[in-house]
Amino acid sequence: MLEGKKVAILGDRDGVPGPAIEECIKSAGAEVVFTTTECFV
Amino acid sequence: MDLENQQRVKDLAEKHGKDNLVVILGGAEAEASGLACETVTNGDPTFAGPLAGVQLGLACYHILEPEIKDEVDPEVYDEQVSMMEMVLDVDEIIDEVSTYREKYSQF
């Protein structure tokens, strides 16, 4: 499902941060086009 | 979801195509994660940001959802996410995000 897709990552500093998600998504074969770590609250 | 990120997601959907863009969330709380999912699928529920009234219908998942976890290299997932997986309310987060996705996502 992720392979070949463009992915926008909205991480959370109190949850899973953007860079951690980015590593995961890259390993799944998708292209990360945007990563941020916001405070969701 | 902050206004700047709403604009970024809107621009990326236009640039890459709505059917080709997937949003992955890392929110710590179910309610906030659900709101972010609602925002990128059905539009900003607070009607404050660039996605107010804009139904992008994007595919949107939380990193803890099995659909995503199963596609990630287990070693990488273990290293990057497993710690937070132990402390977050995974079931509640999955329930909230998948509810909005099933309701509003078009892809």
Task: Give chain A's domain count.
Answer: 1
**Quick one: pLDDT at residue A39?**
67
Which chain A residue has its CA at the smallest distance from B80's CA? A20
Residues in chain B with CB shorter than 8 Å from the CB of A30 are 22
Residues in chain A with CB shorter than 8 Å from the CB of B89 are none
Q: Does residue A1 belong to any structural domain of this protein? A: no
Confidence label for B101 from pLDDT (cuts 50, 70 and 90): very high
Q: Shortest CA distance to B99 belongs to which of B60, B46, B66?
A: B60
Q: Shortest CA distance to B67 belongs to which of B26, B107, B98, B36?
A: B98
Tell me the three state secondary structure of residue A33: strand
Q: Does residue A21 belong to any structural domain of this protein? A: yes
Distance CA B58, CA B74 (A): 26
Q: Using CB atoms, pick whichever of B5, B36, B72 lies closest to residue A24.
A: B72
Distance CA B40, CA B11 (A): 12
Q: Does residue A26 belong to any structural domain of this protein? A: yes
**Quick one: pLDDT at residue B57?**
98
Q: What is the ipTM of this complex?
A: 0.97
Q: Does residue A10 belong to any structural domain of this protein? A: yes
Cβ-Cβ pairs closer than 8 A, A with B, add up to 114
Q: Are A25 and A9 in contact (CB under 8 A)?
A: yes
pLDDT, tens digit (0-9, with 9 covering 90-100), for B21-79: 999 999 999 999 999 999 999 999 999 999 999 999 999 999 999 999 999 999 999 99
User: Which residues form the domain of A15?
Assistant: 6-38
Q: Does residue A15 belong to any structural domain of this protein? A: yes
Q: Do A9 and B24 count as a contact with CB atoms less than 8 A apart?
A: yes
Q: pTM to 2 decimals?
A: 0.97
Q: Do A28 and B72 count as a contact with CB atoms less than 8 A apart?
A: yes
Bridge partners, residue B22, by sequence: A7, B59
